[in-house]
Amino acid sequence: MKPMKQLSWYVYRAVCAVVRRLFPAPEFTGLEKLPADRPCIIVGNHAQAYGPIYMELYLPRKRAIWCIAEMMHLKEVPDYAFRDFWSKKPGWCRWFYRLLSFVGAPVIVCVLKNAHTIGVYRDSRVLNTMRESLERLKEGASVVIFPEHEVYRNGLVWEFQEGFVNLARLYSRRTGEGIDFVPMYVAPRLRRVCFGDPIAYDPAADPGKEAHRVCDALMDAVTDLALALPPHVAVPYPNLPKSSYISTDSMKGAPAGE
């Protein structure tokens, strides 16, 4: 291993050791829902940093985690990190988080490039994302995706962007086999990660309609997983004030999607 790569690996391992202290291992339930003899696509709520951290450090199976590519390129990290994580902080302390976004950028890039990640691009390079994802699936790794964006759904899960569903269509076309999406709910306040029943992709269906069906089914399943747990406060995708967090108590009896 080259000296710089070796140093990068040691930094990654050191950061993981620290993060394990700050984010103890969660309890995994429903692991039997993950296919034992083939890969799948795991889709869940982001829960801010908790979802990716739990998957990287503790998921007990081979995995590849989709990660926004801006967080893997040094020049792009400060703007993206500040906008995505800290732009809603009070005005009086925003300068500190802006500085932090620059200071922390080298460590963030180092960690994410050594982690079990696949860079997700929003331009023509999305083909690289799909190509690498297909390679990892064919190697037997399950791909983990957190597709929420800042469109409100019900406070437990935010609306999913639908582009990730194309991965199942490409996998079916490339291999001639089907692949399942497995819903996942991350509950940091309970220190739990729950998996639900697989949702099969139909390669014969209209791609656009099928993407919409799969996303709706996954969001409803994630919501149901949350409501099946003991009462707790959900950690939302956006970095909102804690006073805005939703308790599952307030959702009992509400229709999915509301």
pTM of the model: 0.93
pLDDT in tens, 164-221: 999 999 999 999 999 999 999 999 999 999 999 999 999 999 999 999 999 999 999 9
Residue 135 has pLDDT above 60, yes or no: yes
Closest C-alpha among 224, 205, 206 to residue 216: 224
Check: CB of residue 81 under 8 Å from CB of residue 89.
no
Render 139-181 in DSSP notation, one character per residue: TTPEEEE--B-S--SSSSSPPBPSGGGHHHHHHHHHHS---EE
Check: CB of residue 18 under 8 Å from CB of residue 124.
no
Check: CB of residue 201 under 8 Å from CB of residue 80.
no
Written as six digits, the tokens of 30 are 């429903």
What is the CB-side half-sphere exposure of residue 221 using CA atoms within 13 A? 22
For the chain, the average pLDDT equals: 93
Task: List the domain boundaries for the chain.
Answer: 35-61+118-251
